[in-house]
Amino acid sequence: MAQGDRAAKLADRIREIVARRLEKGIRDPRLGFVTITDVRVTGDLQHASVFYTVYGTDEERADSAAALKSATGMLRTEVGKNITSRLTPSLEFIPDAIPENANLIEGLLAQARERDSAVEAARAGARYAGDADPYVKPREFDDAED
């Protein structure tokens, strides 16, 4: 398990380095407001997947993706300078689907609320199908018959 711990530590370190470098700024006007959400490193420490989100429109997301793709070499060099590893992992930038998933979940929750209110409305005017008290009761005997 030591290899997994090392990969997790390296992933955290890469996330810090890339985020700090993006915070300082890259001379690319296409780069928008980018947030690094997660980094995953393979077990052999050769490849790092960097997940990010971009605040803005779809066009700004596409422009930021192109800017990150063009800055991958510079960011890999920055990572290589700041880690203590024999090999510098290759970087791959992957847009994180957190905002889209959040919107999808909000839509599903709204549908569930609508269905719940429809069921509540149907229940308000509902009646039992049979008698009000469907259970069989034991016969009551008169004391006079004994």
Q: Is residue 61 part of a domain?
A: yes
Average pLDDT over every residue of 63-73: 88
Q: What CATH number does residue 25 fall under? A: 3.30.300.20
Q: Is residue 23 part of a domain?
A: yes
Mean pLDDT, the chain, as a whole number?
Answer: 84
pLDDT at 127 over 80: no
As for how many domains the chain has, the answer is 1
| Residue, of 145 and 39, whose pLDDT is higher | 39
pLDDT at 87 over 50: yes
Q: Is residue 131 part of a domain?
A: no
Q: Is residue 86 part of a domain?
A: yes
Find the range with the poorest average confidence among 5-19, 24-38, 82-96, 127-141: 127-141
Q: Quickly tell me which residue has 């192109």 as its tokens.
A: 66
Confidence tier at 99 by pLDDT (50, 70, 90):
confident
Domain extent at residue 88: 2-100
Q: Is residue 130 part of a domain?
A: no
Q: Is residue 18 part of a domain?
A: yes
Which residues, other chains included, contact 9 with Cβ-Cβ below 8 Å and sequence gap of 6+?
none
Confidence tier at 1 by pLDDT (50, 70, 90):
very low
Average pLDDT over every residue of 62-81: 89
Predicted TM-score (pTM) of this structure: 0.67
Partners of 41 in beta bridges: 48
Query: What three-state secondary structure class fits 19?
Result: helix
Confidence tier at 48 by pLDDT (50, 70, 90):
very high
Give the DSSP H or E segment for 59: helix 58-70
Q: Report d(CA 19, CA 33) in Å as an integer.
A: 11
Q: Is residue 105 part of a domain?
A: no
